[in-house]
Structure 1
Amino acid sequence: MISSFSSECLLNIFENFLTGNNDLKNCILVNRNWSSLAISVLWKNPLTETLKVKQSISVITTYITCLPQESKDSLIANGLQLPEKVLRRELYDYPSHLQILNYQNLYDAIIDWIEESHQEDIMFHQYQLLDHIFRMFMVKCINIRRIDISNLDDSTKIIHFPLLPNSDEFLSNVKEFSCNGSRNSDFIYLLSQKCTQINSFHLKGQNNGLARLIDMQKVPIKSLEVDFRTMPILSIEKVIQKNSNSITKLKLTGSSRLFRIDCQNLKELVLDLNMDLVGLAKKFGVSIFPKLVKLDISIINLNLKFICKFLKNHGGIKYLYIRKSCYLAYLNDTSEIGDLMKILVKYCHNLVEYRGPFSILYEEINECFLLKLFKACLNLEKLWFWGENQLVNISELVTILSNYVPKRLNTLYMDPLWVIDVDSLDIFLNEHKNLDLDIPFLKTSREEYV
């Protein structure tokens, strides 16, 4: 049975279904093919934020073992004491599997290794070790997909590794870049001379080097996440606007005018902005993205009427998430929520997931928005509701809803102010045993009733 799985199938299983490194390490013991595939997954990003110090030290020990002999000799000549176990030649080429380079994680792990080995002159040895490991990476690592300098500490000294020999091939396949802060413009400028295939940017902070890096890409930008606490510099706005038609995923946080760009192929839009509320809201309401399927929005003081106006032109949306803000969390007038419900029922028939405000108040059962939503949106799978401003007993409604629950619905999170009696809940759950139901008012879940 084991031999019947193709390597491609096994790799997909290892990358997406196994729950942790221990599972993968067990796979190493099965046979040579499983071992090779499991190692490739374990070592594509071996230094993560969640890794314990002992594990980080183990990774650096392996990297030192994989260094060429001349590097080890140079480190020893400069006073770094290497333990006996790293002086041997490593039989397996672990560094060659590296795909995600997080500079800060590597930087910290090397400090941990040096401190663990009780070395003196920590900063000198750290720089020496960083330099030799990066020189090894330039030769062995040709599958780097992501460079991440988003979590750099202010005290971190960054090595300009784009200047090292063989850096062209090392950087040739980078597809994703993450950056936090306005520092290291010169380093990012150096990257722009070598990295020209990046199609995904995660940016927090800005500088001229970053504008240059974006502008030098020879491939269309597909994914862009921007978090600017100040207005973006003009050079960055211009280079992003040049790529507007290729962007399929856009996330804007903080202060940004980039929402005004025209993205005709946009499929996912995430907004959490805090500037120019009136102007932004008006622009948002009339914007049209023909291919949009996901909207995740949280804008302080944004009036729901602008979201309603937007949704009228975007009936293809499948995933709609409206996050609480100071305004929405304490909305006393439910008329705006009622208007939103009408828009969902009338225009958003393709909804698969909805998380946002909802009002279940009704004078007649047939006028209940939840019943109408169930009838109009047959592809619903997940619902999370909030926004009610008074207790509402839905016991009678629940028994009627049972006949209209969409077949694919598997998650229903009720508003904390919805009240339901146990008998009505029993009837509902017996007819929908596969539904994950969360009722905050009762502080209970489906498992206690089945």
Structure 2
Amino acid sequence: MSCQLTTDCLDEIFEHLENDKSTLHSCLLVNRLWCKTSVRILWKNIWRFKYIVYREQHSLKVASSILSTLIACLPNESKELLYKNKIFIQTPTSKPPLFNYVNFCKVLSIYEIVKLVENVLSNEPSSSVNSLSLKDRNCLVTNEIFKMLTIQISSLKKLTYDYNQFIPKFSFTYFPGAKELSELRCSSDIPSDFFYQLSQICHNLQTIFIEFRNDNVSDELKELISLQNNLKSLTLIANISSWANIIPALTKHSNTITKLHLHGNNYNLPLSFVNLFTNLEEIMFSFDYGADFGDFENLQFANFPKLQILKFPKRYPKPEYVMKFLENNGKNLKTFYIYGSDNALSLSIADFCPNLKSLFVGIIYGKTNILKTILSSCQYLESIKVWCGKSYSGEERSYLSEKEVFETIVNYSPNNFCELKIYYSSNSDFVSPVDLESFFISWKNRITKKLLRLIINKNNNIDVNEVNKKIAEKYENLGIIKFSIEALYDDDIFYLL
């Protein structure tokens, strides 16, 4: 007797496959129920396929496929309008769509839609009978798709609206699905009526990202923030402007916000307001070299009893300020991430952060005693990411060598340690095959050990040669390690709206 999985079971299983595009595509061919379930998952966030904004051959094929499906879903009056203006975009079939794909959408990126239409239409053969310019055709198609999305999306969860001159004015007047919006990513220069319309229907945002492009923050944006009932995560990005004018609107949420990310490359950005958020569990200060940490002097004495994650992914304040901050808040930290190196600051990690599970730190070449002290003091440490090789300034062996790291990890890491990430920022030679295999053998012979994940964060100038890869494969097959190579610029370093 055959057993048929219920729709609820399939939904739960397929949700775990959300990022496994190839597997979901294969599920389309099983039967109608599997097809509908997998289509729903694929279309929940169709914009996650970021390559649709580029113009390579494969990317263009994907973009054309997405756009043709959206065109097929348009109401008849929109299709007739495109036809009258001699805009002909081929649909997958002449029959009506099998599903209401638009209704499955939970994530909407306005920029992605604009670029999708631009890239496809700019590669269409020009027609002598079409009197509209390419810009006008793009605008017409984009507006019709917008109208359809605002009417047919029943439950929107995430919206990205990064305003610029190429994005047409967008209205939420007829967008009931935005009532359930939980995440908004936007720029402060969006027309104020957008914020006003959104504030009338959307009061349950839990995550807000704002990029500040001028100092004139609209009252409508402030009102939108103030009207939220349970805001938990806040990201503020200031390039040439400041977030100072938005701070008063944030005070209502001082008890609910648990995650705060601050990004900037501007001077004299206010930081002391962070004191307001006493329930913070995660803080990131991501500042470029043009920015100023001067206001951190006032923040060093703040107390955040629930803080578990602290990150300085680009540069950090004066070491003495950070050390004082760790003295007040390090006891409960589970993750600490600091870009660069300072001997006293690195040693203070051992003194003030005994419960760390994950650490990223730079340690000067030859100072293995600092790494030993950290490993000996942080007995819950499971993962560490360290710099190796030369610094950006080109100094010879500015950071610990791989061999130094390997020997120290084998001999001093705590029992639960299971992940080592090696980070390179400039030209450097990877560890020799002899030293690499010696490390694997030593790890194998440890009395207490777990399978070790060795991850190389590399730039294009780091050559992990075939000999090293074969050695890693050998010990992977023995169940000793798991080896992988990742791009240099991961999510910890660079942030994109």
Question: How far does residue 436 in structure 1 lie from its aligned partner after superposition?
Answer: 3.4
Alignment of 1:2-151 (within 5 A): 7=7, 10-17=10-17, 20-47=20-47, 48-51=49-52, 52-81=59-88, 83=90, 88-115=95-122, 116=124, 118=126, 120=130, 121=132, 122-150=134-162
Encode CA deviations 1:172-221: one digit per residue, 9 max, x unaligned.
11111112363534433333333322221111125316633533533222
Q: Which blocks of at least 5 consecutive residues in structure 1 are unaligned?
A: 329-335
Aligned 8 A contact 2:357 2:383 in 1: yes
Residue 484 of structure 2 corresponds to: none
The aligned amino acid for 1:219 is N
Q: Counterpart in 2 of 1:260?
A: 273
Q: What residue identity is the alignment partner of 1:108? A: K
**Worse-superposed segment, 3-12 or 52-61:** 3-12
Closer, same or farther: CA 118–87 of 1 in aligned 2, 3 Å: farther
1:265 Cα deviation after fit: 1.4
CA distance in 1 between counterparts of 2:92 and 2:227 reads: 43
CA distance in 1, matches of 2:89, 2:398: 68
Secondary structure at 2:180 match in 1: coil
Q: Are positions 1:320 and 2:336 aligned together?
A: yes
Q: Offset of 1:296 from its aligned partner?
A: 0.7
Shift in Å, 1:380: 1.5
Question: What code does the residue aligned with 1:272 have?
Answer: S
With over 3 angstroms needed to count, the CA separation of the structure-2 counterparts of 1:117 and 1:43, relative to structure 1, is farther
CA separation of 1:106 and 1:371: change in aligned 2, threshold 3 A: same
1:414 to 1:81, Cα distance in 2 relative to 1, 3 A: closer
Q: Is 1:358 aligned to 2:363, yes or no?
A: yes
What amino acid does structure 1 have at the position aligned with 2:270?
A: R
> Counterpart in 2 of 1:211?
221
The residue number in structure 2 matching 1:250 is: 260
Contact 2:316/2:338 (<8 A) preserved? no
TM-score of the two chains, using structure 2 as the length reference = 0.74
Alpha-carbon offset, residue 144 of structure 1: 0.9
Seen in structure 2, the aligned counterparts of structure 1 residues 194 and 87 have a Cα distance that, compared at 3 Å, is farther
Deviation larger for 237-246 or 416-425: 416-425
Amino acid at match of 2:231: I
Q: Deviations over 1:227-270 (max 9, x none)?
A: 11245365412112322221111111114314523211111111
Contact map agreement 1:71 1:132 (CA 8 A) in 2 = yes
Following superposition, the deviation at residue 396 of structure 1 comes to 9.6
Which amino acid is 1:379 matched to? Y
Give the aligned partner of residue 472 of structure 2: 447
> Paired residues, what number?
429
Match of 1:429 among 443, 459, 462: 443
User: Cα distance, 1:3 vs. partner?
Assistant: 5.4
Q: How many angstroms does 1:308 deviate by?
A: 1.4
Query: How far did 1:86 drift?
Result: 6.0
1:96 counterpart SS class:
helix
Contact 1:196/1:216 (CA < 8 Å) preserved in 2? no
Identity %: 23
What is the TM-score normalised by the length of structure 1? Answer: 0.81
Aligned AA for 1:215?
Answer: I
C-alpha change, 1:147 and 1:426, in structure 2 (3 Å) is: closer
Q: Partner letter of residue 279 of structure 2?
A: N
Partner of 1:229: 239
Tell me by how many angstroms 1:437 deviates: 4.2
1:289-344 CA distance string (max 9 Å, x none): 111111111464622222111111221111111013xxx4xxxxxxx51x334432
Aligned-partner Cα distance in 1 for 2:366–2:92: 71
| CA 187–392 in structure 1, closer or farther in 2 if over 3 Å, else same | closer
Q: Which residue of structure 1 lines up, in the alignment, with residue 180 of structure 2?
A: 173
CA distance 1:399–1:64, shift in 2 (3 Å)? closer
In 1: Cα distance, 2:209 partner to 2:148 partner: 27
* Aligned 8 A contact 2:386 2:422 in 1: yes
Does the 8 Å CA contact 2:388/2:400 hold for their aligned counterparts? no
1:162 aligned counterpart, secondary structure: coil
Amino acid in the other structure paired with 1:221: L
Tell me the C-alpha RMSD between the 2 structures. Answer: 3.7
**Structure-2 separation of matches of 1:97 and 1:132:** 18
Amino acid at match of 1:141: I
| Map of 1:331 onto structure 2 | none
Write the distance in 1 (CA, Å) between the matches of 2:401 and 2:143. 67
Q: Assess, with a 3 A threshold, how the Cα gap between structure 1 residues 246 and 81 changes in structure 2: closer, same or farther.
A: same
The amino acid across from 1:227 in the alignment is I
Distance 2:405 2:69 in 1: 62
Distance 1:304 1:247 in 2: 27
Structure 1 pair 386–303 and aligned structure 2 pair: CA distance change class (3 A): farther
Range with bigger deviation, 292-301 or 438-447: 438-447
Measured in 2, the distance between the counterparts of 1:236 and 1:76 equals: 46
Q: Deviations over 1:368-410 (max 9, x none)?
A: 4434433332321211223896687897997686465323322
**Counterpart among 285, 288, 311 of residue 271 in structure 1:** 285
Please state whether the residue corresponding to 1:227 is helix, strand or coil: strand
State whether structure 2 residue 195 is matched by structure 1 residue 188.
Answer: yes
Counterpart-to-counterpart distance in 2, 1:233 and 1:301: 19
Using a 3 Å threshold, how does the CA distance of structure 1 residues 381 and 149 change in structure 2: closer, same or farther? Answer: same
Cα distance, 1:19 vs structure 2: 5.1
